[in-house]
Chains A and B, each alone.
Chain A
Amino acid sequence: MSEIHAGTEQTGDVIRVRDLVTHYGSRQILNGISMEVHEGEIMVIMGGSGSGKSTLLRHLMALETKTSGQMTILGHNIDDLTMSEMSDLRKKLGVAFQGGALFSSMTVGENVMLPLYEHTKLDRATMDIMMRLKLEVVELGGFEDLMPAELSGGMIKRAAFARACVMDPKILFCDEPSAGLDPAVASALDDLILRLRDALGMSIVVVTHELDSAFKIADRMTVLDRGDILFIGTPAEIRRSSNDRIQKILNREPDTEEMDVDSYLERLTGEKAESDMYGSVQL
């Protein structure tokens, strides 16, 4: 049973998802997700490996084709958009990918400037100033001439934030911002996310499995479990939840599943097996 809290029908929703179902081949990944992201909030999407959180994020970024359901981004039903309308909508979205996804053939400055170069008619000097401003915001001032290969992991992520924010997007998506970073750098990135929200007033969607980071930055949290929403609510509400699976996540307990021995043997051998003597096994 899922728990839904905290104002799900506000009018200031920048993202609204209804009954989103998606498959990879014959495997169903999302089983009818419904959720909203309110204007100006930081929504953290959490869940274990294989819970569907990355797939959900790719849908929110309009990078995947859904099986069924409806999705509205900044008031636009994405099914109704023409190619040029979708292109216009994308200019209002920023994404900081898990690995940064900086273009390795360009300098940090050129990476940050690319959206301006492609989508605006600004002169080079103005683009230079905007690029340097964004790099200052992420504390990378003076690094614009370096190549991405010359940056550390934390610096690459900050440069990715600068590029994601250079067009002043309405919604910023962050995929595992603190993954693979040491705690101090991860905490600095959390502060950066909060600062971006406060300074630029954007709505931010963060996918993470880092509990400390999630509770530090989230206004609301969505917890996914095997393609279903387990919980939507504030960090305080999630702490109070009596749901067993939520408590396991909060207490960092491993996800276990009951499986009968025949299914277990079938998974190991790839062949159907029959047994009536072992009962069930714990995986």
Chain B
Amino acid sequence: MNESPIHPVTRTLDSIGRKTVTAVEEIGNGAVMIGQSLFWLVLGPRYGQPVRPGSVVVQMMETGIYAIPILTLLNAAIGVMLAIQGVYMLGIFGAENHVAVGVAFTIVREFAPLITGILIAGRTGSALAARLATMRINQELDALHVMGINPIRFLVVPSLFAMVIMVPLLTFYCDVIGLLAAGIYVESSLGITISAFFDQVTSLLSPGDLFHGLGKSLLFGVLICIIGVVNGASVTGGAEGVGKVTTRSVVQAISAIVLTDMLFAYLAIQG
């Protein structure tokens, strides 16, 4: 006798339930990953497995230094774009001389951390997910285990450490580049000198504005790394699986960055 087919509503509910369980499991895995990373960072030397400074430097170069050209280009373009829009809109009210107000706050509090986070998610987060996924499929993670080398200490901690240091540093660099590019445009279009523009900017911005952006970017760094690692480590299948987790890690990281940014903005206004 054939069994009665599953009702579509039941199937949909089943699918939602499974996806919810998977999502909760992934968040849990991420939290465990952060805990284990801190464990190996602090207690690694006691177990004869210190985090190698050389590995951290390699990751800092990969995450930070090699990303500088593209970040410079993007943030300069965004700085100019904001200046163009600012001059145009404020010009409607005859207030274009105050363009530095909007540009400074927007770049330092929003655009520099956001663009840096999104670019690092696409560049370094995806590379991390693909690298770990490939290593899992090629049994390289098993090889590390068998050699008595903890993969989290060996692979994850250097990346996490590099992200936590480099993403805020890159964000600060992007603040400067964005403002500089905006200043150059403002000088050419309104005749306000760059030094006058930066005088306005520094008088407007408080350290709190700067740390608002840098604090967010630090959180973005942690999110990008953990999302990349959790996705990479959960790969199944072959090359197709690597592609899937890489794409998923970028989508999840960018979504997490945008949502965290919104939450930060809301909390900052409330505060």
Contacts and interface: CB of A to CB of B under 8 A. Distances in A.
Interface stretch (A13-21, A84-92, A211-219, A225-233): A84-92
Contacts of A78: none
Contact of B2 (A84, A91, A272): A272
Nearest to A87: B148
A272 B154 CA distance: 50
A114 interface: yes
Interface stretch (B14-22, B74-82, B112-120, B134-142): B134-142
A98 B2 contact: no
B48 A93 contact: no
Most buried by A among B3, B142, B146, B149: B146
A35 interface: no
Interface residues of B, number: 20
A187 to B, nearest CB: 24
Contacts of B135: 103
Contacts of A58: 142
A70 to B, nearest CB: 21
Given A83-B47, A119-B48, A271-B2, A99 B148 contact: no
Contacts of B138: 99, 101, 104
Nearest to B135: A103
A63 B48 contact: no
Contact of B147 (A88, A90, A98): A90
Given A87-B47, A103-B140, A272 B146 contact: no
A274 B140 CA distance: 48
A115 interface: yes
B145 interface: yes
A101 B139 CA distance: 5
Contacts of A119: 48, 147-148
Contacts of B13: none
B32 interface: no
A115 to B, nearest CB: 5
B140 A271 contact: no
Contacts of A61: 142, 146
A272 B143 contact: no
B48 A101 contact: no
Contact of B145 (A63, A118, A271): A63
A271 B147 contact: no
B139 A93 contact: no
Given A114-B147, A118-B149, A87 B139 contact: no
Given A87-B47, A101-B139, A271 B3 contact: yes
A177 to B, nearest CB: 14
B72 interface: no
Contacts of B47: 83-84, 87
A95 B146 contact: yes
B49 interface: yes
Residue from the set B3, B131, B139 with the largest chain A CB neighbour count within 10 Å: B139
Contact of B49 (A89, A101, A118): A118
A65 B145 CA distance: 14
Interface in A95-153: 95, 97-99, 101-105, 114-115, 118-119
Contacts of B3: 271-272
Contacts of B49: 87, 118
A115 B147 contact: yes
Contacts of A105: 131
Contacts of B147: 90-91, 95, 114-115, 118-119
Contacts of B263: none
B133 to A, nearest CB: 13
B148 A63 contact: no
Contacts of A87: 47-49, 148
B1 interface: yes
Interface in B70-115: none
Given A90-B147, A115-B147, A97 B48 contact: no
Contacts of B131: 105
A90 B3 CA distance: 51
B2 A63 contact: no
Interface string A50-92: 0000000010010100000000000000000001101111110
A99 B139 CA distance: 8
Contacts of B139: 97-99, 101
Nearest to A114: B147
Interface in A233-283: 271-272, 274
Nearest to B150: A87
A53 B45 CA distance: 37
Contacts of B143: 95, 97, 101, 103
Nearest to B147: A115
Nearest to A94: B146
Interface of A: 58, 61, 63, 83-84, 86-91, 93-95, 97-99, 101-105, 114-115, 118-119, 173, 271-272, 274
7 contacts: A87-B47, A101-B138, A101-B142, A103-B135, A103-B140, A104-B140, A114-B147
The 4 closest A-B pairs by CB, nearest first: A90-B148, A101-B143, A101-B139, A95-B146
